[in-house]
Amino acid sequence: MNSEQIGVILAQIGTPKAPEAKAVRPYLRKFLSDRRVIDYPSYLWQPLLRGIILRVRPKRSAALYQKVWMKEGSPLLVFSAKQRNGLQERLGSRYRVELGLAYTEADIGDAVRRLEAAGIRRIVVLPMFPQYSSTTTAVVYDHACFSALGRTKASGPAPKRFVPELRLVGSYHSRRGYLQAMRKRIEDQLEHLSERPDRYILTFHGIPKRYVETGDPYADECRETARLLALEMGWADDEWQVTYQSRFGPETWLGPSTAETLIRLAEEGVRRPFVFSPGLVTDCLETLYELGMEAREDYVRHGGSETGFALCPCLNDQPEWLDFLADLIRTEASGWESRDNEQRCS
Protein backbone atom coordinates (compact mmCIF):
# COMPACT_ATOMS: atom_id res chain seq x y z
CA MET A 1 0.00 0.00 0.00
CA ASN A 2 1.01 3.61 -0.59
CA SER A 3 1.01 4.33 3.12
CA GLU A 4 2.37 7.87 2.92
CA GLN A 5 0.42 9.40 0.03
CA ILE A 6 -2.73 11.26 1.13
CA GLY A 7 -5.91 11.23 -0.93
CA VAL A 8 -8.08 14.29 -1.44
CA ILE A 9 -11.64 14.34 -2.73
CA LEU A 10 -13.06 17.61 -4.03
CA ALA A 11 -16.76 16.98 -3.52
CA GLN A 12 -19.58 18.63 -5.46
CA ILE A 13 -23.28 17.87 -5.80
CA GLY A 14 -23.09 17.03 -9.48
CA THR A 15 -24.29 17.81 -12.97
CA PRO A 16 -25.96 16.00 -15.88
CA LYS A 17 -23.67 14.35 -18.44
CA ALA A 18 -25.36 16.20 -21.30
CA PRO A 19 -27.90 19.01 -21.79
CA GLU A 20 -30.59 16.49 -22.72
CA ALA A 21 -33.68 15.34 -20.87
CA LYS A 22 -32.52 11.70 -20.86
CA ALA A 23 -29.33 12.77 -19.06
CA VAL A 24 -31.01 15.27 -16.72
CA ARG A 25 -33.67 12.79 -15.56
CA PRO A 26 -31.38 10.29 -13.69
CA TYR A 27 -29.44 13.18 -12.17
CA LEU A 28 -32.62 14.80 -10.86
CA ARG A 29 -33.99 11.46 -9.68
CA LYS A 30 -30.94 10.86 -7.49
CA PHE A 31 -30.75 14.47 -6.31
CA LEU A 32 -34.43 14.86 -5.44
CA SER A 33 -34.64 11.39 -3.84
CA ASP A 34 -32.02 12.23 -1.21
CA ARG A 35 -33.72 12.75 2.16
CA ARG A 36 -31.07 15.34 3.02
CA VAL A 37 -32.40 17.48 0.17
CA ILE A 38 -36.14 16.70 0.27
CA ASP A 39 -37.22 15.24 3.59
CA TYR A 40 -40.90 14.64 2.90
CA PRO A 41 -42.12 11.08 3.68
CA SER A 42 -41.25 8.80 0.77
CA TYR A 43 -44.82 7.54 0.41
CA LEU A 44 -45.90 11.12 -0.32
CA TRP A 45 -42.88 12.45 -2.19
CA GLN A 46 -41.88 9.58 -4.48
CA PRO A 47 -45.23 9.32 -6.33
CA LEU A 48 -45.12 13.09 -6.93
CA LEU A 49 -41.47 12.96 -8.00
CA ARG A 50 -41.82 10.02 -10.37
CA GLY A 51 -45.35 10.72 -11.54
CA ILE A 52 -45.12 14.45 -12.28
CA ILE A 53 -41.76 16.14 -11.62
CA LEU A 54 -39.56 13.68 -13.52
CA ARG A 55 -41.97 13.78 -16.44
CA VAL A 56 -41.86 17.57 -16.79
CA ARG A 57 -38.76 19.04 -15.20
CA PRO A 58 -35.98 17.18 -17.11
CA LYS A 59 -37.00 18.64 -20.47
CA ARG A 60 -37.31 22.11 -18.99
CA SER A 61 -33.97 21.86 -17.16
CA ALA A 62 -32.23 20.47 -20.26
CA ALA A 63 -33.30 23.54 -22.23
CA LEU A 64 -31.69 25.75 -19.58
CA TYR A 65 -28.49 23.69 -19.52
CA GLN A 66 -28.22 24.14 -23.28
CA LYS A 67 -27.99 27.89 -22.76
CA VAL A 68 -24.87 27.62 -20.57
CA TRP A 69 -23.24 24.39 -21.82
CA MET A 70 -19.60 24.86 -22.78
CA LYS A 71 -17.69 23.30 -25.65
CA GLU A 72 -15.83 21.13 -23.12
CA GLY A 73 -19.03 20.11 -21.31
CA SER A 74 -20.96 21.10 -18.20
CA PRO A 75 -19.61 24.35 -16.70
CA LEU A 76 -19.54 22.87 -13.21
CA LEU A 77 -17.57 19.86 -14.41
CA VAL A 78 -15.19 21.95 -16.53
CA PHE A 79 -14.35 24.36 -13.71
CA SER A 80 -14.24 21.57 -11.10
CA ALA A 81 -11.65 19.74 -13.21
CA LYS A 82 -9.57 22.92 -13.34
CA GLN A 83 -9.83 23.20 -9.56
CA ARG A 84 -8.70 19.60 -9.17
CA ASN A 85 -5.75 20.10 -11.52
CA GLY A 86 -4.72 23.34 -9.86
CA LEU A 87 -4.80 21.75 -6.42
CA GLN A 88 -2.83 18.72 -7.57
CA GLU A 89 -0.14 21.05 -8.88
CA ARG A 90 0.00 22.96 -5.59
CA LEU A 91 -0.04 19.92 -3.31
CA GLY A 92 2.49 17.87 -5.26
CA SER A 93 3.11 14.15 -5.37
CA ARG A 94 2.53 13.69 -1.63
CA TYR A 95 -1.18 14.04 -2.38
CA ARG A 96 -3.52 12.57 -4.96
CA VAL A 97 -6.54 14.75 -5.76
CA GLU A 98 -9.76 13.27 -7.15
CA LEU A 99 -13.08 14.87 -8.05
CA GLY A 100 -16.23 13.30 -6.62
CA LEU A 101 -19.80 14.27 -7.52
CA ALA A 102 -22.64 13.15 -5.28
CA TYR A 103 -25.30 12.44 -7.90
CA THR A 104 -23.28 11.98 -11.08
CA GLU A 105 -21.21 9.18 -12.62
CA ALA A 106 -17.63 9.31 -11.35
CA ASP A 107 -19.26 10.00 -8.01
CA ILE A 108 -17.78 10.27 -4.53
CA GLY A 109 -17.84 6.49 -4.13
CA ASP A 110 -15.86 6.10 -7.35
CA ALA A 111 -13.33 8.63 -6.06
CA VAL A 112 -12.92 6.64 -2.83
CA ARG A 113 -12.43 3.42 -4.82
CA ARG A 114 -9.85 5.03 -7.14
CA LEU A 115 -7.83 6.20 -4.16
CA GLU A 116 -8.05 2.82 -2.43
CA ALA A 117 -6.98 1.07 -5.66
CA ALA A 118 -3.88 3.26 -5.60
CA GLY A 119 -3.11 1.97 -2.09
CA ILE A 120 -4.08 5.17 -0.30
CA ARG A 121 -5.26 4.66 3.26
CA ARG A 122 -5.98 8.26 4.33
CA ILE A 123 -8.40 10.63 2.61
CA VAL A 124 -9.31 14.29 3.14
CA VAL A 125 -12.86 14.97 1.94
CA LEU A 126 -13.38 18.62 1.02
CA PRO A 127 -16.97 19.71 0.36
CA MET A 128 -16.84 22.65 -2.06
CA PHE A 129 -19.36 24.49 0.08
CA PRO A 130 -17.90 27.12 2.45
CA GLN A 131 -21.14 27.39 4.44
CA TYR A 132 -22.37 24.18 6.09
CA SER A 133 -25.80 22.92 5.11
CA SER A 134 -27.45 19.57 5.64
CA THR A 135 -28.40 19.74 1.94
CA THR A 136 -24.79 19.96 0.72
CA THR A 137 -22.04 19.35 3.28
CA ALA A 138 -23.92 16.57 5.07
CA VAL A 139 -24.74 14.96 1.70
CA VAL A 140 -21.02 14.78 0.97
CA TYR A 141 -20.36 13.29 4.41
CA ASP A 142 -23.01 10.60 3.81
CA HIS A 143 -21.61 9.59 0.42
CA ALA A 144 -17.98 9.61 1.56
CA CYS A 145 -18.55 7.66 4.78
CA PHE A 146 -20.85 5.03 3.28
CA SER A 147 -18.42 4.55 0.39
CA ALA A 148 -15.42 4.21 2.69
CA LEU A 149 -17.32 1.68 4.80
CA GLY A 150 -18.29 -0.28 1.72
CA ARG A 151 -21.99 0.33 2.24
CA THR A 152 -24.66 1.91 0.08
CA LYS A 153 -26.89 2.60 3.08
CA ALA A 154 -26.58 2.83 6.83
CA SER A 155 -27.85 -0.71 7.50
CA GLY A 156 -26.72 -4.05 6.14
CA PRO A 157 -23.43 -5.94 6.09
CA ALA A 158 -20.08 -4.22 5.73
CA PRO A 159 -18.06 -6.33 3.25
CA LYS A 160 -14.79 -4.39 3.48
CA ARG A 161 -12.09 -5.53 5.86
CA PHE A 162 -10.09 -2.33 5.74
CA VAL A 163 -11.67 1.11 5.99
CA PRO A 164 -9.53 4.16 5.15
CA GLU A 165 -9.10 7.01 7.60
CA LEU A 166 -11.23 10.01 6.66
CA ARG A 167 -10.90 13.69 7.49
CA LEU A 168 -14.16 15.50 6.73
CA VAL A 169 -13.54 19.21 6.24
CA GLY A 170 -16.20 21.32 7.90
CA SER A 171 -17.38 24.85 7.31
CA TYR A 172 -14.80 27.42 6.26
CA HIS A 173 -17.20 30.32 5.79
CA SER A 174 -15.16 32.78 7.85
CA ARG A 175 -11.60 31.71 7.00
CA ARG A 176 -9.28 34.58 6.14
CA GLY A 177 -7.96 33.02 2.94
CA TYR A 178 -11.48 32.49 1.61
CA LEU A 179 -12.40 36.10 2.31
CA GLN A 180 -9.21 37.38 0.69
CA ALA A 181 -9.80 35.27 -2.42
CA MET A 182 -13.30 36.73 -2.77
CA ARG A 183 -12.00 40.25 -2.31
CA LYS A 184 -9.43 39.70 -5.07
CA ARG A 185 -12.08 38.25 -7.39
CA ILE A 186 -14.42 41.21 -6.81
CA GLU A 187 -11.69 43.83 -7.10
CA ASP A 188 -10.55 42.32 -10.41
CA GLN A 189 -14.09 42.59 -11.77
CA LEU A 190 -14.59 46.13 -10.50
CA GLU A 191 -11.57 47.26 -12.48
CA HIS A 192 -13.45 46.45 -15.69
CA LEU A 193 -16.48 48.58 -14.81
CA SER A 194 -16.76 52.16 -16.03
CA GLU A 195 -18.67 53.22 -12.91
CA ARG A 196 -18.80 52.08 -9.31
CA PRO A 197 -21.80 49.83 -8.50
CA ASP A 198 -24.61 51.43 -6.54
CA ARG A 199 -25.60 48.17 -4.80
CA TYR A 200 -23.79 44.91 -4.04
CA ILE A 201 -25.97 41.79 -3.97
CA LEU A 202 -24.47 38.79 -2.16
CA THR A 203 -26.67 35.89 -3.23
CA PHE A 204 -26.62 32.43 -1.68
CA HIS A 205 -28.37 29.25 -2.76
CA GLY A 206 -31.57 29.00 -0.75
CA ILE A 207 -32.91 26.19 1.43
CA PRO A 208 -36.34 25.80 3.06
CA LYS A 209 -36.70 28.01 6.11
CA ARG A 210 -37.92 24.97 8.05
CA TYR A 211 -34.47 23.38 7.76
CA VAL A 212 -32.90 26.35 9.51
CA GLU A 213 -35.59 26.38 12.18
CA THR A 214 -34.81 22.72 12.94
CA GLY A 215 -31.05 23.10 13.34
CA ASP A 216 -29.29 23.81 10.04
CA PRO A 217 -26.73 26.62 10.68
CA TYR A 218 -26.61 27.61 7.01
CA ALA A 219 -28.39 30.98 7.23
CA ASP A 220 -26.21 32.18 10.13
CA GLU A 221 -23.05 31.22 8.26
CA CYS A 222 -24.22 32.93 5.06
CA ARG A 223 -24.90 36.15 6.95
CA GLU A 224 -21.53 35.95 8.70
CA THR A 225 -19.69 35.40 5.41
CA ALA A 226 -21.49 38.41 3.93
CA ARG A 227 -20.73 40.60 6.93
CA LEU A 228 -17.04 39.71 6.90
CA LEU A 229 -16.78 40.17 3.14
CA ALA A 230 -18.39 43.61 3.39
CA LEU A 231 -15.81 44.54 6.04
CA GLU A 232 -13.04 43.19 3.83
CA MET A 233 -14.31 45.32 0.93
CA GLY A 234 -14.96 48.43 3.03
CA TRP A 235 -18.63 48.64 2.02
CA ALA A 236 -21.03 50.80 4.00
CA ASP A 237 -24.08 49.08 5.48
CA ASP A 238 -26.44 50.58 2.88
CA GLU A 239 -24.27 49.46 -0.06
CA TRP A 240 -24.83 45.71 0.20
CA GLN A 241 -27.40 43.08 1.10
CA VAL A 242 -27.87 39.31 1.35
CA THR A 243 -30.37 37.47 -0.83
CA TYR A 244 -31.20 33.83 -1.60
CA GLN A 245 -31.90 32.14 -4.93
CA SER A 246 -33.04 28.81 -6.47
CA ARG A 247 -36.35 28.30 -4.72
CA PHE A 248 -38.15 25.02 -5.39
CA GLY A 249 -41.56 23.77 -4.31
CA PRO A 250 -44.32 25.29 -2.17
CA GLU A 251 -42.45 25.69 1.12
CA THR A 252 -41.30 28.99 2.59
CA TRP A 253 -37.61 29.41 1.75
CA LEU A 254 -34.94 31.69 3.11
CA GLY A 255 -35.39 35.24 1.90
CA PRO A 256 -35.36 37.79 0.55
CA SER A 257 -35.43 36.32 -2.95
CA THR A 258 -32.60 37.39 -5.26
CA ALA A 259 -34.92 37.71 -8.26
CA GLU A 260 -37.54 39.72 -6.36
CA THR A 261 -34.86 41.94 -4.84
CA LEU A 262 -33.39 42.81 -8.23
CA ILE A 263 -36.84 43.64 -9.59
CA ARG A 264 -37.51 45.91 -6.63
CA LEU A 265 -34.13 47.62 -7.00
CA ALA A 266 -34.83 48.25 -10.69
CA GLU A 267 -38.15 49.87 -9.80
CA GLU A 268 -36.44 51.95 -7.11
CA GLY A 269 -33.89 53.31 -9.57
CA VAL A 270 -30.79 51.28 -8.69
CA ARG A 271 -28.88 51.30 -11.98
CA ARG A 272 -25.62 49.46 -11.30
CA PRO A 273 -26.20 46.32 -9.22
CA PHE A 274 -23.18 44.07 -8.74
CA VAL A 275 -24.15 40.44 -8.11
CA PHE A 276 -21.81 37.89 -6.54
CA SER A 277 -22.36 34.41 -5.13
CA PRO A 278 -20.02 33.68 -2.17
CA GLY A 279 -21.47 30.24 -1.47
CA LEU A 280 -21.34 28.86 -5.01
CA VAL A 281 -17.60 28.66 -5.65
CA THR A 282 -17.92 27.02 -9.08
CA ASP A 283 -19.92 28.50 -11.95
CA CYS A 284 -22.92 26.36 -12.84
CA LEU A 285 -26.54 26.60 -13.97
CA GLU A 286 -27.49 28.58 -10.86
CA THR A 287 -24.97 31.32 -11.59
CA LEU A 288 -24.62 31.36 -15.38
CA TYR A 289 -28.32 31.03 -16.22
CA GLU A 290 -30.32 31.91 -13.11
CA LEU A 291 -28.27 35.01 -12.32
CA GLY A 292 -26.52 35.84 -15.57
CA MET A 293 -29.56 35.47 -17.82
CA GLU A 294 -32.88 35.08 -15.98
CA ALA A 295 -32.26 37.57 -13.15
CA ARG A 296 -30.65 40.04 -15.55
CA GLU A 297 -33.66 39.88 -17.89
CA ASP A 298 -36.11 40.37 -15.01
CA TYR A 299 -34.12 43.34 -13.77
CA VAL A 300 -34.03 45.01 -17.22
CA ARG A 301 -37.70 44.26 -17.90
CA HIS A 302 -38.65 46.18 -14.76
CA GLY A 303 -36.71 49.27 -15.73
CA GLY A 304 -33.11 48.41 -14.83
CA SER A 305 -30.09 49.24 -16.94
CA GLU A 306 -28.86 46.32 -19.06
CA THR A 307 -25.35 47.77 -19.25
CA GLY A 308 -25.33 48.56 -15.53
CA PHE A 309 -26.04 44.99 -14.36
CA ALA A 310 -22.79 43.21 -13.42
CA LEU A 311 -22.40 39.54 -12.50
CA CYS A 312 -19.12 38.55 -10.90
CA PRO A 313 -17.85 35.05 -11.82
CA CYS A 314 -17.47 32.46 -9.09
CA LEU A 315 -14.05 31.76 -7.61
CA ASN A 316 -13.58 28.83 -10.01
CA ASP A 317 -9.82 28.23 -10.51
CA GLN A 318 -8.66 31.65 -9.31
CA PRO A 319 -5.08 31.23 -7.99
CA GLU A 320 -5.76 32.84 -4.59
CA TRP A 321 -8.72 30.53 -4.05
CA LEU A 322 -6.74 27.42 -4.93
CA ASP A 323 -3.87 28.59 -2.71
CA PHE A 324 -6.32 28.82 0.18
CA LEU A 325 -7.77 25.37 -0.51
CA ALA A 326 -4.29 23.84 -0.68
CA ASP A 327 -3.43 25.35 2.70
CA LEU A 328 -6.74 24.14 4.12
CA ILE A 329 -6.05 20.58 2.96
CA ARG A 330 -2.52 20.63 4.38
CA THR A 331 -3.93 21.82 7.71
CA GLU A 332 -6.47 19.01 7.79
CA ALA A 333 -3.76 16.47 6.95
CA SER A 334 -1.14 17.95 9.29
CA GLY A 335 -1.53 15.22 11.92
CA TRP A 336 -0.92 12.54 9.33
CA GLU A 337 2.14 14.34 7.97
CA SER A 338 3.57 14.79 11.46
CA ARG A 339 3.05 11.10 12.20
CA ASP A 340 4.80 10.13 8.98
CA ASN A 341 7.76 12.37 9.79
CA GLU A 342 8.06 10.81 13.26
CA GLN A 343 8.04 7.32 11.76
CA ARG A 344 10.77 8.24 9.25
CA CYS A 345 12.93 9.70 12.03
CA SER A 346 12.57 6.57 14.16
Q: Which of 129, 130, 128, 123 is nearest to 109 (CA)?
A: 123
Q: What is the tens place of the pLDDT at every residue in 70-98?
A: 999 999 999 999 999 999 999 999 999 99
pLDDT of residue 343: 55
pLDDT of residue 80: 98
Q: DSSP 3-state assignment of 279?
A: coil
- DSSP annotation string for 104-138: SSSBHHHHHHHHHHTT--EEEEEES-SS--TTTHH
pLDDT of residue 151: 62
Q: What is the tens place of the pLDDT at every residue in 247-288?
A: 888 899 999 999 999 999 999 999 999 999 999 999 999 999
Mean pLDDT for 329-345 is 75
- In order of 186, 202, 241, 272, 309, the CA distances from 193 in angstroms are 11, 18, 20, 10, 10
pLDDT of residue 158: 57
Mean pLDDT for 3-32 is 95
Q: Check: CATH 1.10.150.240 for 6-16+74-171+319-345?
A: no
pLDDT of residue 105: 83
Residues 179, 181, 185, 188: is their CA dihedral positive or negative? positive
Residue 56 has pLDDT above 60, yes or no: yes
- Prior bond to 256 cis, omega within 30? yes
Mean pLDDT for 129-134 is 98
Give residue 124's pLDDT band: very low, low, confident or very high (50, 70, 90): very high
Give residue 335's pLDDT band: very low, low, confident or very high (50, 70, 90): confident
pLDDT of residue 84: 98
Residue 1 has pLDDT above 80, yes or no: no
Q: What is the tens place of the pLDDT at every residue in 297-331?
A: 999 999 999 999 999 999 999 999 999 999 999 99
Residue 2 has pLDDT above 80, yes or no: no
Residue 159 has pLDDT above 80, yes or no: no
Q: What is the pTM of this model?
A: 0.93
Mean pLDDT for 291-296 is 97
Residue 345 has pLDDT above 80, yes or no: no
pLDDT of residue 322: 98
Average pLDDT, the chain: 94
**CATH 3.40.50.1400 residue ranges for the chain:** 6-16+74-171+319-345, 176-311
Q: Check: CATH 1.10.3370.10 for 176-311?
A: no
pLDDT of residue 3: 62
